[in-house]
Structure 1
């Protein structure tokens, strides 16, 4: 937390200010962010501490913080507190080329890292059995990651692959597609379904934005040259970071 921001709160004399008090506090916090006294990722004092520093009621403080959360300026992580949202540049992503997230970020010269959420072998869910064409006794490898570029969390990916194709998901160190390429199982085509959704609390916390924020849900079913499904991936992308672009041609040309 910023000591300068604490000093700003303590010296603000908001109860003696004119206008709606929650808006005065909202504007003070927003101004502190704009002027660099609070940086992206910084945590704010608790509601109780802000109330004590400013002389405002906790109801007023909660309303001011809620306003900034709804605007995407702050986000709240259950059990951890309130934080300044990391603002991101927007990316254009082509829908005409089959690439991995790692390849997309490398092409943009961005530093990529992953936070592993899951890497293991499991009994398949019914949907996985149908999409991947698994028999009743086959297992599925699941690979779940939070994808972070230049320090900013951009996407949550959860992939399912037949365990016969990926028997050792723990061996993936960087790119799933690079691993599949090593074994001759890199997909050659894919179908993607994209839908706009509001983030639930779990995914919002991972992406560092407010619950209910706009996002893009992408389901990818990828195929080998033989026509076999090799990958079924569900991803959640930050809505404030991505524009998906497709080139369209006249059907008569």
Structure 2
């Protein structure tokens, strides 16, 4: 590792960017596995002969790029990228279990309310209909990864005190698990409050996801807006070639 970190180019690139580049290549080549700790600033200073200020700037550069994550009191680690299929209707809890991780939740709101005009239109219900408003921070392995705000017609759910970490498990318990859905994903920057909830930097890249889920009979059952950490999530979809038709003249 020492030789890799000491390798320098012939250009006039600042030293901190050269070190960031070398660390980036070392990580990409499997030199440090996702989730493993980076050597401390002191160790990197000794390995490279660079100043601690230069080393710190290199690390901050890679944190901004989402390659590294800093955990308060624990150190700096190589970010684990979570690949999740973008074409499968699945819950955060199910996805975490498939990765062998323990999901968790910090509840912000769990209450009955009336829907806004927009929510009523999306769910095809009257504005007088009672809905469950569910706001939470989603955790996996103790790490905050997403903020979710879900609105569900109350008729599809058990009592609020019976709703645990998984919304879909609660819907399934009541015989109303969704079978299909539609979602839109947009890139954005984390607002200060979001950054605090997700333990990331202000203006860090996030993914804003709007999801509609439906029952087998076509009724909307869920309208959710989420904010996911873009440095941790990659949504992957299978693609097929477009169908073409030919006509004989």
Question: CA contact under 8 A between 1:121 and 1:141: conserved in structure 2?
Answer: yes
Partner of 1:192: 183
Residues 116 and 127 of structure 2 are in contact (CA less than 8 Å); yes or no, is this contact kept in structure 1?
A: no
Specify every segment of 5 or more residues in structure 1 that has no aligned partner in the other structure, as ranges. 1-22, 24-32, 39-63, 76-80
Q: Is the CA contact (8 Å cut-off) linking 1:219 and 1:235 kept in structure 2?
A: yes
Of 197, 206, 219 in structure 2, the residue corresponding to residue 206 of structure 1 is 197
How do 1:37-48 and structure 2 match up within 5 A? none
Question: Which of 208, 214, 228 does residue 217 from structure 1 map onto?
Answer: 208
Whether 1:148 aligns to 2:161 is no
Q: TM-score, normalised by structure 1?
A: 0.67
Q: How does 1:27-42 map to 2 (within 5 A)?
A: 35-36=39-40
User: Normalising by structure 2, what TM-score?
Assistant: 0.68
Judge conservation of contact 1:68–1:74 (CA < 8 Å) in 2: no
Give 2:166's match in structure 1, choosing from 175, 193, 197: 175
Q: CA RMSD in A?
A: 3.0
Task: For residue 197 of structure 2, give the secondary structure of its aligned residue in structure 1.
Answer: helix
| Structure 1 match to 2:8 | none
After superposition, what is the alpha-carbon deviation per residue over 1:61-115, rounded to whole angstroms, capped at 9, x for unaligned? Answer: xxx99x949954788xxxxx99977753001110121110000000111011111
Alignment-derived partner of residue 229 in structure 1: 220
Of 118, 126, 135, which residue of structure 1 is paired with 2:117?
126
Q: What is the SS of the residue equivalent to 1:164? A: helix
Which of 83, 88, 91 is matched with 2:79 structurally?
A: 88
CA contact (8 A) 1:116 1:145 kept: yes
Question: 1:179 offset after TM fit, Å?
Answer: 0.8
Local SS of the residue matching 2:156: coil
1:127 Cα deviation from its structure 2 partner: 1.0
Contact 2:195 2:201 in 1 (8 A): yes
Residue 136 (structure 1) shift? 3.1
Equivalent pairs counted in the alignment come to: 193
Deviates more, 1:215-224 or 1:156-165: 156-165
